[in-house]
Amino acid sequence: MITVKKEVEFIWRRKPTRITTLFFVNRYGILLYGALAITAGFVQEHTVCVVVTRATEAVILLLTLVFSICAALRAYVLWNKNWCFSIIVLAMNLAPEGVDIFLYWSSTPTSTPIVIASCVSRLRLGRQQQMRSKRKY
């Protein structure tokens, strides 16, 4: 675990690079996600709900991308700088990102009267899927 003193010494005082950018997004992106997630729980207005939900989804995608890149870099270093293996690791980590993009694209943010879950996403169902779900219940 890096201390604030070491972080200032090794990261903040350096010239910005791709690695320091990954560090900042990885370290402070989760704080942004937490703030957005808490905000989404208490939003009542529909337009604000849409903005907060889409911003939260964008932060999740960014954090997942950073995790994927870090995993690929770790594989690159641990496997004697083998790019083939690190590209496989990167591709496997990005597969869920593609699924998330599809789910976020096909979902609709909605306001609810429930206090802690006042802003949620729901998937739009096609006509056949709606009919199937009605038959089950």
Identify the H or E element spanning 75: helix 46-78
Percent of the chain topping pLDDT 90: 32
Q: Is the pLDDT of residue 29 over 80?
A: yes
69, 86 contact by CB (below 8 A): no
pTM for this predicted structure: 0.76
Confidence at residue 112, expressed as pLDDT on a 0 to 100 scale:
78
More confident residue, 124 or 61: 61
Nearest to 61 by CA among 31, 20, 27, 102: 102
Q: How many domains is the chain partitioned into structurally?
A: 1
Q: What SS3 state is found at 110?
A: strand
Confidence at residue 116, expressed as pLDDT on a 0 to 100 scale:
74
Q: What is the DSSP letter of 120?
A: E
Q: Give residue 131's pLDDT band: very low, low, confident or very high (50, 70, 90).
A: low
Q: What is the pLDDT of residues 37-79, one digit of tens each?
A: 888 888 888 888 889 989 999 999 999 999 999 999 999 999 9
Q: Is the pLDDT of residue 133 over 80?
A: no
Residue 119 burial class via C-beta count within 10 angstroms: exposed 0-12, middle 13-18, buried 19 and up: buried
> What is the rounded average pLDDT for all residues in the chain?
84
* Domain housing 104: 4-136
What would the two tokens of residue 97 be? 């990102």
87, 72 contact by CB (below 8 A): yes
